[in-house]
């Protein structure tokens, strides 16, 4: 689900979203309630009509933004107290109010207000938040005015504690909701804990209801969570990273701001059939990104196309019974050296998918050592370039090219 | 002044087809124009392709018309897939955008030129250094070696040799020669030197003989009638495919313009197209068309779009502006400012009978919201509507010229405006 915070996916028109095959978008209740206000949206016949979006739509509860955007949010049993960004006065968002606002916005899927805590926090606060989320879900169900038009999803909380997650899941499933979300993740926890929570939740949530992992959207995370049995994702990553000049490609990411791109006449992804890759070179996109609106527009288009294509491929490979092969192909493109992260290997083992064919990391390292070259630093280069300034990157790029060439020569020599 | 002869694009002497029409045949461009004093309609045919083989695209442009201004080859906010919904096939590109961005001409050449790089093979691309948005002519920086421009990456001096080399790599269909554009207030001496330099640079460009596109000779001369005439006469002697008129929109008054424009178009041969830079408002467009100008740049659309404005003036066949939408908040009734709170609840499109993507799909309330929350889609939707509306304005004008009622159209248009232009500019 591409994120359209304020009633628009940044930089794209509805017709473009339809062209790239987007079926559902997400709106942020908090932003929409501030501007243009839920009352105005209701008057216009709901957000669908207001923005003329004919396909599906989901709104979040607004609770997350309050905690993430506002420093002075205080959560009590009544609701979330926060400082109004308009006049600075303290305001209260209760579960009832969140649902009423979402009823007025009129999305097809609405989210219950949950008590969001950082996953990195430990101690009794996690437990408190989980139980409060369960108490609030009843208030949400009670307040829901349009249960026949809008599907209320409950959110599983409980931090990284399997016992708390289990209590939460049981409590929510008892309420027999139309769908369930796995919340409180993608907030800085380590990947190994992240996938374990997803695996635990998908393992005990009902088979016949959709499962939505909130705030997850890196391509690799989407593939892993899908393998674990999750169905829906949302993330600002594809469009946000586009605005900073990064393209999503099967090999990982491509930083178009790098100086090396200025003379690169290839498309962003030669295997991608999207409008941008069919028409434009990296060199041209390079001169647009982070300077002109068109750079954001074209890269957002490509990145969302990439995510939609990934979702379609996941779907069809599962339907056609070739999902394990798809996962292996995906991983071997992203990690051509075979250095698939350990957490992915662990998650795939639990998901029952054999990825040994693309996990040849240890073997490669041995080979490289024989050739007298340390490849471990190179393997991570593509993902860490962004932290350097552009001058360093171009130097590094040349250095890497040289290294690769040497590696190839050595390999040839070894073969002979 | 020596007469430079270019062989690759040499134009045979104009051959009259009939009493009414003359054509300018060339390898890459044909122009058919109805001979008339003042306002005129024409058909520009661009033959786009590598050679004379079958792969050539023919691009037809009716004149008078608008050239869509771009930033690095694409309209500021309209991506290529949306561009196809706009009834236009002529774009203006400033080659300096790429020089300033560090994209080497070598790379552009490797990609096969601007058309390939932009994925726009069905468009006529016009290269003009000045774009009035990012590349502003800077008369103080110009030297006898070349004109100077203020660009986002600093001041840039463009020498004819480098310019022609860039053009050869970019392969536009039409390109203007370099011009030393000076504002209206400069001394006669400076104005005279600007004409001398512009002519010298044109000769240098012609002498370099690039085998690409059709060159339009640049005409300058500021607000001095004599200099304008001298420059035009000299440029008209040279072997060019058309004319690019510069030095307007740089401080001259609306009142002195008709005389300046006539001084130029009276001298120019009828059978070659005339392009102008710096005229934008509807009134200015009408001034230009009345003087016999064929092509206009569209910086005005960009300015409107950035300001949150949408064009709403009636496209009445006779130019009648009495049916302007009632509006109490606008000072100028040709357009509305969608930022205004009055549009917060307005669930109607910008114009009910407009057929553009924006009006077909979105309401004023939605665009007002997008502007309020600083979303890029606001500019996308506004640029689509404004470009579409202005192109329709040109269509209405062409019909009026065709039917021989342009003068009446122009008078009606100007007189029926609720707020006369003089009052605004005063």
Average pLDDT taken over every residue of chain B: 88
Q: Determine the pLDDT at residue B69.
A: 96
In a domain, A372, yes or no: no
Query: Residue B5 — very low, low, confident or very high, per pLDDT cuts 50/70/90?
Result: very low
Say whether pLDDT at B13 is over 50: no
Query: Residue A405 — very low, low, confident or very high, per pLDDT cuts 50/70/90?
Result: low
Q: Determine the pLDDT at residue B320.
A: 86
Query: Residue A415 — very low, low, confident or very high, per pLDDT cuts 50/70/90?
Result: low
Select the more confidently predicted residue: B19 or B154.
Answer: B154
Task: Tell me how many degrees the CA angle B409-B410-B411 measures, rounded to the nearest 5.
Answer: 95
Range A152-177 average pLDDT: 96
Per-residue pLDDT of B104-143, as tens digits, reads 899 999 999 999 999 999 999 999 999 988 899 999 999 9
Judge if A67 and A145 occupy the same domain. Answer: yes
Judge if A262 and A137 occupy the same domain. Answer: no
Which chain A residue's Cα is nearest to B82? Answer: A16
Query: Does B277 show up as a binding residue in the annotation?
Result: no
The CATH number of whichever domain residue A41 belongs to comes to: 3.20.20.105
Q: Determine the pLDDT at residue B355.
A: 97
Query: Does B124 show up as a binding residue in the annotation?
Result: no
Q: Which two tokens stand for residue B253?
A: 């008054």
Helix or strand (DSSP H, E) at B281: none
Percentage of residues in chain B with pLDDT exceeding 90?
A: 78
**Is A166 a residue of the active site?**
no
How far, CA to CA in Å, does A34 sit from each of A82, A84, B369? 13, 9, 11
> Of B118, B65, B64, B71, nearest to B306 (Cα)?
B71
* Bond before B293 cis per omega within 30 degrees: no
Domain that holds residue A251: 242-311
Query: Residue B54 — very low, low, confident or very high, per pLDDT cuts 50/70/90?
Result: low
Query: Residue B99 — very low, low, confident or very high, per pLDDT cuts 50/70/90?
Result: confident
Q: How many CB pairs under 8 A join A and B?
A: 120
Question: How many Cβ atoms from other residues are within 10 Å of residue B188's Cβ?
Answer: 11
Q: Determine the pLDDT at residue A84.
A: 78
Judge if A135 and A27 occupy the same domain. Answer: yes
Judge if A85 and A150 occupy the same domain. Answer: yes
Question: How many Cβ atoms from other residues are within 10 Å of residue A247's Cβ?
Answer: 26
Q: Which two tokens stand for residue B141?
A: 């920086």
Query: Residue A11 — very low, low, confident or very high, per pLDDT cuts 50/70/90?
Result: very high
Domain boundary (A235, A260, A286) is at A235
Judge if A45 and A132 occupy the same domain. Answer: yes
Domain boundary (A202, A235, A268) is at A235
Query: Does A123 show up as a binding residue in the annotation?
Result: no
Residues of A with Cβ-Cβ distance to B377 under 8 angstroms: 8, 10-13
Which chain B residue's Cα is nearest to A44? Answer: B347
Which residues neighbour A411 within 8 Å (Cβ) at sequence distance 6 or greater? A371
> Cα B17 to the chain's mean position, in Å?
28
Say whether pLDDT at A29 is over 80: yes
Domain boundary (A311, A335, A364) is at A311
Number of domains in chain A: 2
Say whether pLDDT at A9 is over 60: yes
ipTM: 0.91
Judge if A25 and A142 occupy the same domain. Answer: yes
In a domain, A75, yes or no: yes
Judge if A165 and A280 occupy the same domain. Answer: no
Buried/exposed A44-53: b ≥16 CB within 10 Å, e otherwise: bebbbebbeb
Range A17-30 average pLDDT: 96
Say whether pLDDT at B100 is over 60: yes
Range B339-345 average pLDDT: 96
| Annotated catalytic residue within A87, A149, A161, A234 | A234
Which residues neighbour B72 within 8 Å (Cβ) at sequence distance 6 or greater? A284, A287, A288, A292, A294, B93, B97, B98, B101
- Count Cα atoms within 13 angstroms, Cβ side, for B146: 17
Range A334-341 average pLDDT: 92
Say whether pLDDT at B198 is over 90: yes
Taking the C-alpha atoms of residue B386 and residue B281, their distance in angstroms, rounded to an integer, is: 12
Beta-bridge partner residues of A26:
A3, A58
In a domain, A174, yes or no: yes
Residues of A with Cβ-Cβ distance to B101 under 8 angstroms: 287, 291
Subunit contact B377:A301, Cβ cutoff 8 A: no
Point out the residue among B104, B347, B375 whose CB comes nearest to the CB of A263: B104
Judge if A62 and A153 occupy the same domain. Answer: yes
Segment among A230-234, B149-153, B269-273 with least mean pLDDT: B149-153
Taking the C-alpha atoms of residue B237 and residue B359, their distance in angstroms, rounded to an integer, is: 48
Q: At what angle do helices A95-105 and A124-143 cross, to 10 degrees?
A: 50
In a domain, A415, yes or no: no
Query: Does B169 show up as a binding residue in the annotation?
Result: no
Percentage of residues in chain A with pLDDT exceeding 90?
A: 74
Range B384-412 average pLDDT: 97
Q: Determine the pLDDT at residue A407.
A: 57
In a domain, A356, yes or no: no
Q: Determine the pLDDT at residue A65.
A: 83
Judge if A51 and A103 occupy the same domain. Answer: yes
Which residues neighbour A292 within 8 Å (Cβ) at sequence distance 6 or greater? B71, B72, B76
Taking the C-alpha atoms of residue A204 and residue A225, their distance in angstroms, rounded to an integer, is: 15
Subunit contact A44:B118, Cβ cutoff 8 A: no
Select the more confidently predicted residue: A225 or A66.
Answer: A225
Judge if A297 and A247 occupy the same domain. Answer: yes
From its phi and psi, is residue B148 left (phi > 0), alpha (psi between -120 and 50) or beta? beta
Smallest CA–CA distance, residue B104 to chain A, in Å, is: 8
Q: Determine the pLDDT at residue B22.
A: 41
Judge if A226 and A246 occupy the same domain. Answer: no
* Bond before A36 cis per omega within 30 degrees: yes
Subunit contact A6:B363, Cβ cutoff 8 A: no
Percentage of residues in chain A with pLDDT exceeding 70?
A: 86
Judge if A71 and A100 occupy the same domain. Answer: yes
Interface of B with A (CB under 8 A): 71-72, 74, 76-77, 79-82, 97-98, 101-104, 106-107, 110-111, 117-119, 152, 344-345, 347, 357, 361-363, 365-366, 368-370, 372-373, 375-377, 379-381
Point out the residue among B110, B369, B377 whose CB comes nearest to the CB of A36: B369
Say whether pLDDT at A362 is over 50: no
Which residues neighbour A145 within 8 Å (Cβ) at sequence distance 6 or greater? A99, A100, A103
Query: Does A98 show up as a binding residue in the annotation?
Result: no
Between residues 279 and 298 of chain A, which touch chain B (CB distance below 8 Å)?
Answer: 279-281, 283-284, 286-288, 291-294, 296-298
In a domain, A319, yes or no: no
Interface test with B, best of A268, A297, A394 (most B CBs within 10 A): A297
Range B271-297 average pLDDT: 96
In a domain, A156, yes or no: yes
Segment among A135-149, B38-52, B153-167, B218-232 with least mean pLDDT: B38-52
Smallest CA–CA distance, residue A64 to chain B, in Å, is: 20
In a domain, A379, yes or no: no
Average pLDDT taken over every residue of chain A: 87
Smallest CA–CA distance, residue A217 to chain B, in Å, is: 22
Query: Residue B152 — very low, low, confident or very high, per pLDDT cuts 50/70/90?
Result: confident
Select the more confidently predicted residue: B7 or A176.
Answer: A176
Point out the residue among A40, A275, A293 whose CB comes nearest to the CB of B376: A293
Query: Residue A391 — very low, low, confident or very high, per pLDDT cuts 50/70/90?
Result: very low
Both ends of chain A: CA-CA distance in Å? 51
Taking the C-alpha atoms of residue B92 and residue B78, their distance in angstroms, rounded to an integer, is: 14
Say whether pLDDT at A6 is over 80: yes
Q: Determine the pLDDT at residue B28.
A: 85
Say whether pLDDT at B50 is over 70: no
Q: Which two tokens stand for residue A52?
A: 């003329």
**Is A234 a residue of the active site?**
yes
Q: Determine the pLDDT at residue B26.
A: 53
Query: Does A277 show up as a binding residue in the annotation?
Result: yes
């Amino acid at each position: 689900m591409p994120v359209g915070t304020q009633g628009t996916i940044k930089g794209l028109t509805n017709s473009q979203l339809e062209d790239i095959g987007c079926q559902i978008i997400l709106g942020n209740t908090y932003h929409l309630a501030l501007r243009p206000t839920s009352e105005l949206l209701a008057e216009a016949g709901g957000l669908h009509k207001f923005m003329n979006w004919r396909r599906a739509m989901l709104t979040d509860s607004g609770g997350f933004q309050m905690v993430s955007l506002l420093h002075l949010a205080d959560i009590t049993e009544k609701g979330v107290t926060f400082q109004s960004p308009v006049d600075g006065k303290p305001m209260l968002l209760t579960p009832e109010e969140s649902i009423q606002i979402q009823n007025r916005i009129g999305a097809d899927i609405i989210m219950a207000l949950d008590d969001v805590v950082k996953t990195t926090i430990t101690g009794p606060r996690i437990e408190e938040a989980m139980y409060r989320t369960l108490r609030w879900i009843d208030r949400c169900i009670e307040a829901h005015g349009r249960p026949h038009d809008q599907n209320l999803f409950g959110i599983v909380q409980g931090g990284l504690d399997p016992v708390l997650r289990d209590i939460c899941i049981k409590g929510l499933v008892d309420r027999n909701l139309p769908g369930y979300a796995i919340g409180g993740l993608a907030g800085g926890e380590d990947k190994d804990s992240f996938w374990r929570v997803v695996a635990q939740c998908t393992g005990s949530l009902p088979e016949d209801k959709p499962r939505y992992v909130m705030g997850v959207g890196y391509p690799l995370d989407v593939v892993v969570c899908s393998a674990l049995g999750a169905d829906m994702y949302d993330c600002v990553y594809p469009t946000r990273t586009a605005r900073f000049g990064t393209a999503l490609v099967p090999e990982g990411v491509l930083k178009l701001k790098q100086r090396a791109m200025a003379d690169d006449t290839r498309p962003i992804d030669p295997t991608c059939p999207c409008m941008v890759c069919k028409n434009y070179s990296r060199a041209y996109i390079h001169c647009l990104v982070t300077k002109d609106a068109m750079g954001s527009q074209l890269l957002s288009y490509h990145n969302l196309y990439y995510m939609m294509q990934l979702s379609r491929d996941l779907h069809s490979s599962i339907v056609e019974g070739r999902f394990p092969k798809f996962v292996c192909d995906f991983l071997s493109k992203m990690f051509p050296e075979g250095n698939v992260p350990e957490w992915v290997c662990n998650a795939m083992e639990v998901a029952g998918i054999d990825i040994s064919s693309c996990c040849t990391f240890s073997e490669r390292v041995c080979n490289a050592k024989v050739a007298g070259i340390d490849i471990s630093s190179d393997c991570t280069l593509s993902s860490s370039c962004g932290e350097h300034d552009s001058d360093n990157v171009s130097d590094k790029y040349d250095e890497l090219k040289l290294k690769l060439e040497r590696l190839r020569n050595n390999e040839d020599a070894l073969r002979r | 002044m020596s007469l430079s002869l270019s062989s690759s694009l040499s134009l045979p002497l104009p051959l009259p087809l009939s009493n009414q029409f003359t054509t300018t045949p060339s390898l890459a461009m044909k122009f058919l124009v109805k001979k008339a004093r003042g306002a005129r309609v024409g058909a520009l045919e661009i033959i786009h392709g590598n050679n004379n083989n079958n792969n050539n695209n023919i691009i037809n442009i009716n004149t008078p018309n608008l050239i869509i201004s771009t930033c690095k080859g694409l309209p500021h906010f309209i991506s290529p897939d949306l561009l196809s919904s706009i009834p236009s096939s002529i774009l203006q590109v400033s080659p300096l955008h790429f020089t300033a961005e560090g994209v080497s001409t070598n790379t552009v050449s490797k990609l096969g030129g601007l058309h390939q790089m932009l994925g726009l093979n069905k468009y006529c691309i016009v290269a003009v250094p000045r774009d009035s948005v990012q590349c502003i002519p800077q008369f103080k920086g110009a030297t006898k070696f070349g004109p100077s421009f203020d660009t986002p990456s600093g001041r840039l001096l463009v020498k004819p040799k480098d310019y022609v080399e860039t053009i050869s790599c970019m392969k536009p269909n039409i390109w203007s020669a370099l011009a030393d554009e000076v504002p209206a207030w400069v001394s006669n001496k400076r104005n005279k030197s600007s004409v001398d330099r512009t002519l010298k640079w044109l000769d240098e460009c012609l002498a370099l003989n690039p085998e690409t596109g059709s060159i339009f000779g640049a005409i300058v001369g500021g607000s001095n009638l004599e200099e304008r005439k001298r420059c035009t006469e000299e440029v008209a002697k040279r072997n060019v495919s058309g004319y690019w008129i510069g030095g307007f929109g740089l401080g001259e008054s609306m009142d002195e313009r008709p005389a300046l424009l006539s001084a130029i178009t009276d001298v120019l041969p009828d059978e070659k197209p005339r392009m102008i830079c710096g005229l934008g408002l509807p009134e200015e467009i009408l001034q230009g068309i009345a003087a016999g100008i064929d092509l206009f740049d569209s910086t005005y659309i960009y300015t409107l779009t950035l300001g949150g404005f949408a064009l709403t003036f009636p496209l009445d066949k006779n130019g009648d502006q009495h049916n302007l939408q009632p509006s109490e908040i606008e000072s100028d009734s040709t357009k509305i400012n969608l930022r205004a709170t009055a549009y917060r609840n307005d669930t109607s499109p910008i114009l009910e009978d407009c057929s553009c993507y924006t009006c077909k799909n979105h309401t004023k309330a939605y665009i007002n919201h997008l502007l309020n929350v600083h979303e890029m889609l606001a500019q996308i939707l506004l640029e689509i509507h404004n470009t579409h509306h202005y192109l329709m304005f040109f269509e209405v004008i062409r019909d009026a010229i065709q039917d021989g009622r342009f003068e009446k159209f122009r008078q009606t248009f100007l007189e029926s405006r609720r707020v006369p232009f003089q009052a605004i500019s005063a």
